[in-house]
């Protein structure tokens, strides 16, 4: 995860005349007159002033949030809330002010910066103070419903989402899984009316910024026409779908053997509660049910970390050494002084792994309650990927201190994690020998259950929301449309008949939190193409799933050239720097998983696939 508070934390420096929300006809006429007299010089003055204030507020917001997440008290929560409110109000003011230059002839760089201010809002408030307050109140209520959600089981045990998630990861009891699955979805029923009203208000806010609806506004943030972006995602999905279909067929067959064909029919979608995850978005927790025979690679990274006396700091030092082997400068001393590596015994902290950039210069940190496991070792490489990206673009103007598009940041972290291969582990002395290629199928299966299984889910969440925002899907059809899309893309179905008045989308955090989801789909596509490109630059001769770019200065230089661009250019230009192409290409995924795909096809011979 990448916690950076760049464009969500915007300073209030717009003049009072620009921040008023109740536009009268007289005021609207004045605004129109002002727009006719604005010039490129006015845009420069406005953007220069915004840039200075952004630097200050970004630092203020980042510090407040860091303190809150590392020292959770009522006081630190209040400080965080205050700075977030200030940022939200400023975001609206800046977006409205930037929109007044829409018809003004400005330089390409100025236009990019102005668009950035407009599009930095995820949920734009209407230019009406009462409606703006209502929208903020709805957002708080939705967050509270989700955050406080619990379920009391039939046996009387009250469980949090974390409790239920842990049980679903390990339970193989059909009825227990069904109870947990149903139970969590009870919390989202009260969200439906609130979400409906929120959509109306957010669409009104998007209209005020010149967009036909909120979905069009979100899709406009990708350096291409909004309608083309949706088509591009479906094109990429079409490239991956054959691999996903074979994975789905194999997994369904194995689950049918475990639970019986009466519960997992071989010609229907997979019941959503049986895939080891509350949302069936990734399937890694059921690896034990579908693992290939004799797929044990012969080593356990967690055990090897213990053998070689890796503590939490040594694990981070090891990951840092990966980046310095590529030619990146070592992390600053403040990183080691200010990061959180272990869970304190004397206070509550938010342990979710995250990377931080507090001052847009050298104050970069990670926050993790590190466990000494192989999975966490890989996660540390991922998080440092964010930090090195943040430092690479520090010399860009504040508007461009971000990834090329919102998928890049996650993709870069995951790209680095793809190099944590047996070859790399041997080079750093964690294992003694590299398993032969017969062991690759198990490693690839584990990764496919996490990454390939996720891709259609990563696509359909926003597909549903865009249809909601456009009005194509109306409130009475929210739930029906949700499950139609899940069956269409994932081949996953609700295990029981769902009431049309239910609101199952709300059971997924990113929906009530209004976090755009296409970024995760993009990251899953981009990371493999970045990895393939870097392996080629590094002169790799192995299959790309065995490649590590460790110690390649050539790969490091190419990567840094792209990272330094930040968001200063259309993402296609950043993409071309590394891959040679301006269009994303999902065939890198097919290359990476080629041995597994061949294996799956053989296993699926004679089976009825499809859903």
Q: What is the pLDDT of residues 335-361, one digit of tens each?
A: 999 999 998 888 888 787 889 999 988
Structure tokens at 503: 């609101």
Q: What's the confidence (pLDDT) of residue 18?
A: 29
What percentage of the chain carries pLDDT values higher than 70?
Answer: 94
Asked if residues 476 and 470 have their Cβ atoms less than 8 Å apart, the reply is no
For residue 152, what are the β-bridge partners?
Answer: 158
Query: Hey, is 541 helix, strand or coil?
Result: coil
pLDDT in tens, 75-133: 888 888 788 778 777 877 888 899 899 889 999 999 999 988 988 888 888 878 888 88
Q: Does residue 248 lie within any of the structural domains?
A: no
Structure tokens at 198: 């929120």
Q: What's the confidence (pLDDT) of residue 1?
A: 54
Q: Does residue 86 lie within any of the structural domains?
A: yes
Stretches in the chain below the pLDDT threshold 70: 1-36
Judged on CB neighbours under 10 Å (0-12, 13-18, 19+), 18 is: middle
Q: Does residue 599 lie within any of the structural domains?
A: no
**Distance between terminal CA atoms of the chain?**
33
Query: Hey, is 101 helix, strand or coil?
Result: coil
Q: Does residue 55 lie within any of the structural domains?
A: yes
Indicate the number of domains in the chain: 1
Residues whose CB is less than 8 angstroms from the CB of residue 19 and which lie 6 or more positions away in sequence, other chains included:
12, 89, 93, 96
Query: Hey, is 71 helix, strand or coil?
Result: coil
Asked if residues 284 and 450 have their Cβ atoms less than 8 Å apart, the reply is yes
Q: Does residue 254 lie within any of the structural domains?
A: no
Q: What's the confidence (pLDDT) of residue 80?
A: 81
Q: What's the confidence (pLDDT) of residue 511?
A: 94
C-alpha pair distances (Å), 525 with each of 63, 302, 416, 528? 33, 28, 14, 6
Q: Does residue 35 lie within any of the structural domains?
A: yes
Parent domain of 45: 2-119
Q: Where are the beta strands (DSSP E) in 325-372?
A: 354-357, 364-367
Q: Does residue 79 lie within any of the structural domains?
A: yes
Q: Which of 209, 18, 226, 229 is nearest to 119 (CA)?
A: 209
- What gap in Å lies between CA 298 and CA 421, rounded to an integer? 14
Q: What's the confidence (pLDDT) of residue 16?
A: 24
Q: What's the confidence (pLDDT) of residue 61?
A: 87
Query: Hey, is 599 helix, strand or coil?
Result: helix
Asked if residues 251 and 257 have their Cβ atoms less than 8 Å apart, the reply is no
Asked if residues 9 and 116 have their Cβ atoms less than 8 Å apart, the reply is no
Q: Does residue 67 lie within any of the structural domains?
A: yes
- What gap in Å lies between CA 409 and CA 413, rounded to an integer? 7
- Indicate whether this model's pTM tops 0.85: yes
**Residue 294, Ramachandran bin (φ over 0: left; ψ between -120 and 50: alpha; else beta):** left
Structure tokens at 285: 């927790």
Structure tokens at 380: 């540390």
For residue 340, what are the β-bridge partners?
Answer: 367
Asked if residues 350 and 288 have their Cβ atoms less than 8 Å apart, the reply is no
SS (H, E, C) 104-136: CCCCHHHHHHHHHHHHCCCCCCCCCHHHHHHHH
Asked if residues 187 and 507 have their Cβ atoms less than 8 Å apart, the reply is yes
- What gap in Å lies between CA 383 and CA 315, rounded to an integer? 12
What is the number of alpha carbons within 13 Å of residue 462 lying toward its C-beta? 22
Q: b/e per residue, 597-608, with b = 16+ CB within 10 A?
A: bebbeeebeeee
**Strands 354-357 and 2-3, how do they pair?**
parallel
Which helix (H) or strand (E) covers residue 395, if one does?
none
Residue 262: CB atoms within 10 Å: 7
Structure tokens at 387: 């930090």
Q: Provide the annotated active-site residues.
A: 352-353, 382-383, 386, 410, 510, 520
Q: What's the confidence (pLDDT) of residue 94?
A: 87
Q: What's the confidence (pLDDT) of residue 24?
A: 43
**Strands 492-493 and 364-367, how do they pair?**
unpaired
């Amino acid at each position: 995860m990448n916690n950076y508070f760049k464009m969500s934390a915007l300073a209030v420096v717009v003049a009072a005349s620009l921040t008023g929300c109740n536009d009268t006809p007289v005021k609207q006429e004045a605004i129109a007159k002002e727009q006719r007299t604005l010039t490129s010089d006015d845009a420069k003055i406005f953007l220069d002033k915004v840039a200075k204030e952004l630097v200050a507020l970004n630092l203020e917001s980042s510090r407040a949030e860091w303190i809150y997440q590392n020292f959770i008290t009522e006081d630190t929560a209040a400080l965080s809330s205050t700075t977030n409110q200030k940022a939200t109000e400023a975001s609206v003011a800046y977006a409205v002010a930037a929109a007044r230059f829409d018809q003004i002839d400005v330089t390409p760089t100025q236009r990019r910066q102005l668009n950035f201010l407009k599009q930095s809002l995820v949920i734009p408030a209407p230019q009406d103070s009462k409606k703006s307050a209502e929208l903020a109140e709805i957002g708080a209520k939705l967050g509270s419903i989700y955050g406080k959600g619990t379920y009391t089981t039939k046996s009387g045990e009250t469980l949090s989402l974390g409790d239920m998630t842990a049980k679903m990861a390990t339970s193989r009891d059909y009825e227990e899984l069904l109870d947990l699955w149903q139970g969590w979805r009870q919390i989202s029923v009260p969200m439906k009316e609130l979400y409906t009203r929120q959509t109306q208000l957010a669409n009104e806010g998007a209209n005020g910024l010149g967009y036909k609806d909120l979905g069009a506004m979100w899709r406009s943030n990708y350096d291409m026409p909004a309608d083309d972006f949706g088509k591009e995602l479906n094109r990429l999905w079409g490239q991956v779908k054959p691999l996903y279909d074979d994975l789905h067929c194999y997994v369904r067959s194995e689950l049918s053997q475990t639970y019986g064909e009466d519960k997992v029919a071989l010609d229907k979608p997979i019941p959503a509660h049986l895939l080891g995850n509350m949302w069936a978005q990734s399937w890694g927790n059921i690896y034990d049910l579908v693992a290939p025979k004799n797929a044990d690679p012969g080593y356990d990274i967690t055990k090897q970390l213990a053998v070689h006396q890796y503590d939490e700091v040594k694990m981070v030092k090891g990951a840092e050494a990966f980046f310095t082997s590529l030619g990146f400068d070592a992390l600053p001393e403040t990183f080691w002084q200010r990061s959180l590596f272990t869970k304190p015994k004397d206070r509550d902290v938010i342990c979710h792994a995250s990377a931080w950039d507090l001052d847009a210069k050298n104050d970069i940190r990670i926050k993790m309650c590190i466990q000494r496991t192989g999975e966490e070792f890989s996660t540390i490489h991922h998080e440092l990927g964010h930090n090195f990206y943040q430092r690479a673009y520090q010399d860009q103007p504040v508007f461009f201190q971000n990834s090329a598009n919102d998928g890049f940041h996650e993709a870069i972290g995951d790209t680095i994690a793809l190099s944590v291969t047996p070859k790399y582990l041997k080079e750093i002395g964690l294992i003694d020998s590299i398993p032969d290629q017969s062991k690759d199928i198990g490693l690839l299966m584990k990764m496919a259950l996490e990454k390939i299984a996720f891709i259609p889910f990563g696509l359909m969440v926003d597909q549903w929301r865009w249809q909601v925002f456009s009005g194509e899907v109306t409130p009475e059809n929210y739930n029906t449309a949700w499950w139609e899309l899940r069956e269409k893309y994932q081949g996953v179905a609700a295990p029981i008949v769902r009431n049309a008045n239910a609101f199952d989308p709300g059971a997924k955090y990113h929906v009530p939190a209004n976090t755009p989801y296409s970024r995760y789909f993009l990251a899953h596509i981009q990371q493999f193409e970045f990895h393939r490109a870097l392996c080629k630059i590094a002169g790799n001769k192995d299959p790309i799933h065995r490649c590590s770019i460790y110690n390649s200065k050539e790969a490091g230089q190419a990567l840094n050239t792209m990272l330094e661009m930040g968001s200063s250019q259309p993402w296609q230009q950043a993409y071309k720097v590394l891959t040679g192409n301006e269009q994303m290409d999902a065939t890198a995924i097919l290359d990476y998983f080629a041995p597994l795909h061949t294996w799956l096809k053989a296993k699926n011979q004679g089976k009825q696939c499809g859903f």
